[in-house]
Amino acid sequence: MALYSEKVMDHFRNPRNVGVIEDADGIGEVGNAKCGDIMRMYLKIEDDVVKDVKFETFGCASAIASSSMATELIKGQPLSEVRQLTNKAVAEALDGLPDYKMHCSVLAEEAIQSALEDYSRKTGKQV
């Protein structure tokens, strides 16, 4: 039995939306190097919709796959939807994660919420 689902391995091998948005409207970072996982999310927001999203991740395969899947799930989505994104949705979209790796999906949710908060702070808009 493989450690990860095919979908996790696909997103790990070919992560979507990797990189940086220089003029991001919101940046979120969670985790720390001590624990071995750091995720940074960059959002470009127009008319309350996620126009673009990029990520950078330091972490294991499931952390990279969770970040990648999370960006896919929110790209082009209205902020009201993005606000509702849960770690469970990320994990399910990846066809599941091993129990002890579920925290990777939590990090992905938190990174996005943190980027939204940063956007609110910068713009004064409630999301």
> Which spans of this chain sit near another protein (rule: CB under 8 A)?
9, 12-13, 15, 18-20, 29, 33-40, 55-64, 100-101
CB of 3 to another protein, least distance (A): 8
What is the DSSP-derived secondary structure letter of residue 95?
T
CA dihedral over 47, 63, 93, 12, signed as positive or negative? positive
Catalytic residue among 30, 104, 106, 115: 104
Closest CB to another protein among residues 49, 96: 96
CB of 81 to another protein, least distance (A): 25
104 among known catalytic residues: yes
What are the angstrom distances between the C-alpha of 90 and each of 8, 41, 62, 63, 124? 11, 15, 11, 11, 28
CB of 115 to another protein, least distance (A): 13
Q: For residues 103-113, b (16+ Cβ closer than 10 Å) or e, as one string?
A: bbbbbbbbbbb
Catalytic residue among 13, 20, 32, 35: 35
Q: How far apart are the first and last CA of the chain?
A: 42
Q: Name the residue type at position 119.
A: Y
60 among known catalytic residues: no
Q: Which residues are catalytic?
A: 35, 104
